[in-house]
Chains A and B, each alone.
Chain A
């Protein structure tokens, strides 16, 4: 029997621009560049633009049935692969064949409109996911039952709590019954009980003949759900086979993935007497390093540098920012009580945060260094890293993605007013 997914030499390139504010092109910029180009022919030569292969020559086959895992670090090309297979973006080279009806879930609740009611959004979202109106009508009661929001079916979803919203969105998605289902990380939403229910639903689909392609950062769910998996690294397919083997491979190369080369970065400030050449993150768990940045684990930031060698009063710093641009944690060498009178010509600064207090989410790191009060190097957004949910409080409960912000040890209690003279109702304590 022919494989249900067949990919041959799939590649995708992006032209990336190193200018920090190049999110949207403006017509004016392009026109002025066009006008300037005849006079300054070398301005475009490699200085600010380069081709990045997000995916390079990826070939694989997936047989029908079961859940197939896709793992890899940040920027490994997982999302690009899913986007190509779900036809959101086209490949630059290569070819893929999918045999059967394809459904993709890169997000739950795609196209939900806040002004529409739950009922209306079930139809809208179902249609966007590729369900026929008839199908939606047929499964409508099931979807409502699964979502557990029946009381609010005719309330606009803008009044929903985030939990209700996610449950409704997932309920619709879970009733999609394609031959090939492409899923990206959506299992990381919702409360634990609902996650379990959704996982169960996906397992059901896989046993009834559907093929699921699942991308996840959560090694535990990949390991428990998938029989086979593939590992991507820097856009290339590194390994494919039994899930346990692939995960083992992933963990062994993981520590090199979270590092970022900074030597070629041109968008930096400072005198340049010291230059950061790279930054990497290491997380230590039971003596083993891995690139899983998890809250509650110790995390070490290592920034390598080269310098002129004659610097005095060197003070490196690292600052963690939220994606919103809000400064969250400042690591300042001098402030922490360590003064460096000199630094070698090449070396590294390292700073460890015990029990990383960042909630799950994405963060970025700025690096700076001063010598004798003068800025010698300053690299903004040196590395972007994801923090995975971890058992920060040691309670077995994971902080959820939606909470955001910082985690701090906390002690809760509840008691009656003193005049009641009753014994306290409940005390919880967490002062690790």
Chain B
């Protein structure tokens, strides 16, 4: 639905026109473009949704935010014991613990953001059927809480770097946040699509966890990309998370040079996902309240 704000100019010499400056037009037109001015005017609601999720996240838990640190850390230990020590997967020059934790750090952000995004419409069901707001802000704000978790998990990452005396390269420092942003684009792109599908088909509730657990193995979290034959690697990079994780490993941990060509495949596929997700979401958006 389109919100149009037309500011009526006041006549010269006259006192300001009496009529209201805001005019809201409701029409069946289905505009796909985002109304950025409207989104901007709803920035506070975006903030409040994110704030609510963060507030509620660790309510009634004994350990609170410690969970955000504990979970990836324990997974890293388990991975190191089983995949590195038992199964013998080698991570090259960098210690396997740092290697897998780098993967987990970003993977956990991606998977949790994707889940949160996919469920955002259904969890907000009661609000969506009762009040208007640009629906698109809900899936995006749902990922903010995962960024906070990422922040906590990052502390462990920093600790690991210090423990193993790894000095991140300058590119590593510069690329770290852009890579988080790339993961965010990939997660919200897919998440927007699933969120819209979820409104009509609750099958999504079963598909997303399954997809996430499957894709963990298609993403080089546990194993290095070098284990895959060179001519097939580009397929791996179609998964944006491969680009994210591999680039961080290359740049921060100094494991080989950054594969710019491969990274651009990941960027392109993430951007495609975001565009498809947004377009599909915008197309379905107007009937959300009817079907949810």
Contacts and interface: CB of A to CB of B under 8 A. Distances in A.
B22 A100 contact: yes
Contacts of A120: 52, 55
B55 A116 contact: yes
B283 to A, nearest CB: 12
Contacts of B1: 87, 90
A106 interface: yes
B25 A88 contact: no
B62 interface: no
13 contacts: A2-B19, A24-B201, A25-B291, A26-B201, A28-B203, A87-B26, A91-B26, A94-B27, A98-B24, A98-B26, A107-B130, A111-B127, A123-B48
Contacts of A111: 124, 126-127, 131
Interface in A91-117: 91-102, 104, 106-107, 110-111, 113, 115-116
Interface in B22-39: 22-28, 30
Contact of B202 (A4, A24, A85, A89): A24
Given A100-B20, A106-B129, A107-B130, 19 more contacts: A25-B201, A27-B203, A30-B201, A87-B24, A87-B132, A90-B28, A91-B28, A98-B24, A100-B22, A100-B24, A101-B20, A101-B22, A110-B127, A111-B126, A116-B56, A124-B48, A124-B52, A127-B44, A133-B44
A99 B23 contact: yes
Contacts of B44: 127, 132-133
Contacts of A205: none
10 closest A-B pairs by beta carbon, nearest first, are A87-B132, A90-B286, A100-B20, A127-B48, A96-B26, A27-B203, A98-B24, A89-B289, A27-B201, A110-B130
Contacts of A124: 48, 51-52
A85 B20 contact: no
Residue in A1, A90, A91, A101 whose Cβ sees the most chain B Cβ within 10 Å: A90
Contacts of B129: 88, 106
B20 A104 contact: no
Interface residues of A, number: 47
B45 A89 contact: no
B128 A88 contact: yes
B214 interface: no
A431 B19 CA distance: 59
B287 A89 contact: yes
Nearest to A129: B131
Contacts of B291: 25
Interface in A18-46: 24-28, 30
